[in-house]
Amino acid sequence: MGNCMDGIRNSCDRQKNTNIKSSLPAVCFVWQLSMIILFGVFVRYNVESDTHWVEHKKKDNITSDIENDFYFRYPSFQDVHVMIFVGFGFLMTFLKRYSFGAVGFNFLVAAFGIQWALLMQGWFHSLDYNDGKIKIGIENLINADFCVAGCLIAYGALLGKVSPVQLLVMTLFGVTLFAVEEYIILNILHAKDAGGSMVIHTFGAYYGLSISWVLYRPDLDKSKHLNGSVYHSDVFAMIGTLFLWMFWPSFNSAIADHGDGQHRAAINTYLALASTVLTTVAMSSLFEKTGKLDMVHIQNSTLAGGVAVGTAAEFMLSPYGSLIVGFFCGIISTLGYIFFSPFLEEKLKIQDTCGIHNLHAMPGVLGGIVGAISAAAATKTVYGDEGLVNTFDFKGSFANRVPTIQGGYQAAGLCVALCFGIGGGILLPIWGDPADENCYDDEIYWEVPEDEESVPPVLAYNNHMIPNKHSNSAGKSRTWQHSSEY
């Protein structure tokens, strides 16, 4: 039935494989052992997390422990951490029978990804050339979480259609590509991207979409009945939405400059997100026959403003500028869900489970453009002499940069993110995805309890049409039994 599109998209030849008994433990053990070895060789505490900090303080005339970067960034770090594990994890629980996979595989992928990210980003950004060691502190932890966010965005497109082993492979490659792309954009091009509109969202989304294109399933209708929500799964997803929404100001300000930089980034993000909620609700109601709201839009499009204000969050975007960005993002993202997602699936053969094209790809690109324009438009009148230099870091070998040039490099950065995302996804070796009829189903990778609840006792006793299985066994019992099965 399926049509083999071309050489790259090899869905017909791939053997469907849902048994992960040998591959998953092997991958986890081998990779975790590798992490230990690599950390042993390369990773040490940085000066602010080492016991020698007390000597460092004296040398640098630091009078108080509160000057430790920990106190500038730890609250934001924890907010970002919640976004990665609860935000992304629960946002994907909307599927009626893939909540375990959503929150569980998100957990697995992120826990692996942050370790690999500490290494990859460390080699590029935190290598101490005196001793060849990567020196880590709180900012590295935030960046590792950021890096993983890119891969979790990609997971959104693949949700329900790939195995955990595939996800780990995707994360290994994704983190590697991310670190290279980030180095090119931030260090070589010297573009600014505090909230990662380009580096995280654009890259992550196109990475996921191109993997989804490679893995196209012409017969996905076989599991169509599971590709939807139930009442309570939609409420669970709102936990993810709200924690992402609330903590996004921390996301965009976490690695911004100390002082006014972090302060401004938080304000801009707060405003952009508020604006997005109203236009999302408006569009959702406007394009439905009877004016009813669609949970898909409320869960996702309300977040688009945070994505799009990422690059420019620490710039002098001004409060109304942030509102404008949020205003258009809510519109674009909701329209994307209504019109563009069906088009993507039917015409471009990209099956995007969570609609990351609407939540991350389009707003990410928009954010890159907003960043380029607002950088190019920066003036000394608005920023002040020192403020301009500090905000855009026109120092060292970049001391001669001027805002208009900076705008050009910002745009170049966006292109790099796009290329890495699309190219990386297409070239990724991937295999072992589940059969079409097993998609969106926790049963294949998880021990799933039977839901006794859905059979009220009175029914179970009186209704002889129900097989014994339902009246006897009552969910997965946690009575500890050393059963013969082990």
Q: Cα 146 to the chain's mean position, in Å?
A: 8
CB 194 within 8 A of CB 314: yes
* Spatial distance between the Cα atoms of 63 and 66, rounded to a whole number of angstroms: 9
In the list 342, 379, 402, 427, the residue contacting a copy of itself (rule: CB under 8 A) is: 342
Minimum CB separation from a copy of itself for residue 427, in Å? 26
Q: Which residues pair with 186 in a beta bridge?
A: none
Q: How many chain residues touch a copy of itself (CB under 8 A)?
A: 185
For a copy of itself, the binding residues in 118-177 under the rule CB under 8 A are 136-138, 141, 164
Stretch that binds a copy of itself, among 32-40, 178-186, 204-212, 359-367 (CB under 8 A): 32-40
Sign of the dihedral defined by the CA atoms of residues 212, 218, 222, 227, in that order: positive
Structure tokens at 197: 């509109």
**Edge-to-edge strands, sheet with 43-45:** 43-45, 133-136, 127-128
**Does residue 368 interact with a copy of itself by CB under 8 A?**
no
* Largest distance between two CA atoms of the chain: 83
Of 28 and 180, which has the nearer Cβ to a copy of itself? 28
Of 67 and 419, which has the nearer Cβ to a copy of itself? 67
**Does residue 363 interact with a copy of itself by CB under 8 A?**
no
Stretch that binds a copy of itself, among 2-10, 202-210, 425-433, 457-465 (CB under 8 A): 457-465
Of 9 and 50, which has the nearer Cβ to a copy of itself? 50
| Region label for 384, one of left (φ > 0), alpha (ψ between -120 and 50) or beta (otherwise) | left
Residue 254: Cβ-neighbour burial (10 angstroms; 0-12, 13-18, 19+) = buried
Minimum CB separation from a copy of itself for residue 399, in Å? 17
* Spatial distance between the Cα atoms of 207 and 170, rounded to a whole number of angstroms: 9
301-340 footprint of a copy of itself as x/- string (CB under 8 A) = -x-------------x-xxx--xx--x---------xxx-
CB 240 within 8 A of CB 87: yes
Stretch that binds a copy of itself, among 8-16, 90-98, 186-194, 360-368 (CB under 8 A): 90-98
CA distances from 395 to 2, 183, 191, 199, 386 (A): 56, 18, 13, 22, 11
191-230 footprint of a copy of itself as x/- string (CB under 8 A) = -----------------------------xx--xxxxxxx
Residue given tokens 């080699």 in the structure block: 123
Count other C-beta atoms under 10 Å from residue 131's C-beta.
8
Minimum CB separation from a copy of itself for residue 392, in Å? 10
**Does residue 64 interact with a copy of itself by CB under 8 A?**
yes
* 127, containing H or E segment: strand 127-128
Q: What is the DSSP string of 77-125?
A: HHHHHHIIIIIHHHHGGGBTT-HHHHHHHHHHHHHHHHHHHHHHHHHHH
Of 347 and 397, which has the nearer Cβ to a copy of itself? 347
Of 235 and 427, which has the nearer Cβ to a copy of itself? 235
CB 203 within 8 A of CB 365: no
Of 155 and 420, which has the nearer Cβ to a copy of itself? 155
For a copy of itself, the binding residues in 246-275 under the rule CB under 8 A are 246-247, 249-250, 258-260, 262-264, 266-267, 270-271, 273-275
Stretch that binds a copy of itself, among 178-186, 191-199, 278-286, 425-433 (CB under 8 A): 278-286
Of 78 and 176, which has the nearer Cβ to a copy of itself? 78
Backbone phi, then psi, for 474, in 5-degree steps?
A: -120, 85
Minimum CB separation from a copy of itself for residue 7, in Å? 26
In the list 5, 16, 53, 376, the residue contacting a copy of itself (rule: CB under 8 A) is: 53
* Spatial distance between the Cα atoms of 201 and 363, rounded to a whole number of angstroms: 8
**Does residue 93 interact with a copy of itself by CB under 8 A?**
yes
431-450 footprint of a copy of itself as x/- string (CB under 8 A) = -------------xxxxxx-
**Does residue 2 interact with a copy of itself by CB under 8 A?**
no
Minimum CB separation from a copy of itself for residue 199, in Å? 22
One-letter amino acid identity for 448? V
Count other C-beta atoms under 10 Å from residue 374's C-beta.
20
**Does residue 82 interact with a copy of itself by CB under 8 A?**
yes
For a copy of itself, the binding residues in 373-432 under the rule CB under 8 A are 382-384, 386-388, 390-391
